[in-house]
Amino acid sequence: MKHLAATALVANAAFAPQAALAFNGCKVLLCLTGNWQQIQECQADVREALRCMARGRCWPTCNDAPGVTLAPASTAECPPQYGLYELDACGRHVMVGCTKNMAIDVAFQGMPSWLRIWTNTVDGSQAVTQYSEPARLLYGEHVNLQFDTDYAAWLALQPTEPPPLTCMDSGGH
């Protein structure tokens, strides 16, 4: 039922007056608080907004949605499934970068990280959504599982044996 209410809000936002941008900021914010990848009316606007933000040209806002805000998040918190890895001297994989070079926190209902959108500046259509536990509970079966699927695939490829004992950390550990 709550999913239907969010969809109705998005539909109403679609007809709100738009700024000179190619997307409606209110619609984008409302879409990002939900599972925008499964709502047809959201996809084009959110992807365009992500591309625009990635280029540093805009940041969606909406005076009619005071409880919803976007903020840049640190890509230093890159999820392991999106990491770029190199082998260290001991043969261990060490993360040296992130394939998702842009992270956006969506604040909703007083929670700063209701959702985190991971994307890259090359192609906003490759965005994935990391849900907080309250968001997961609210959206239930409507959660887009791509983030979880990517993590499971990464985890399945991880070695099950620890590195050899002959290679100790230089810190005396």
Average pLDDT, the chain: 77
Query: Is 170 inside a domain boundary?
Result: no
Query: Is 114 inside a domain boundary?
Result: yes
Q: What DSSP string runs through 85-151?
A: EEE-TTS-EEEEEES--EEEEEEETTEEEEEEEEE-SS-GGG-EEEEPHHHHHHHGGGS--HHHHHH
Number of domains in the chain: 1
Instruction: Check whether 151 has a pLDDT greater than 60.
Output: yes
Query: Is 32 inside a domain boundary?
Result: yes
Query: Is 148 inside a domain boundary?
Result: yes
Q: Which of 141, 140, 142, 118 is nearest to 129 (CA)?
A: 118
Instruction: Check whether 21 has a pLDDT greater than 60.
Output: no
As a whole number, mean pLDDT of residues 61-87 equals: 83
Q: How confident is the model at residue 31 (pLDDT cuts 50, 70, 90)?
A: confident
Domain residues for 96?
2-156
Query: Is 118 inside a domain boundary?
Result: yes
- Quick one: which H or E segment has residue 48? helix 40-54
> Which tens digit of pLDDT belongs to each residue from 88-109?
888 788 889 888 888 888 888 7
Instruction: Check whether 24 has a pLDDT greater than 80.
Output: yes
Query: Is 129 inside a domain boundary?
Result: yes
Q: How confident is the model at residue 39 (pLDDT cuts 50, 70, 90)?
A: confident
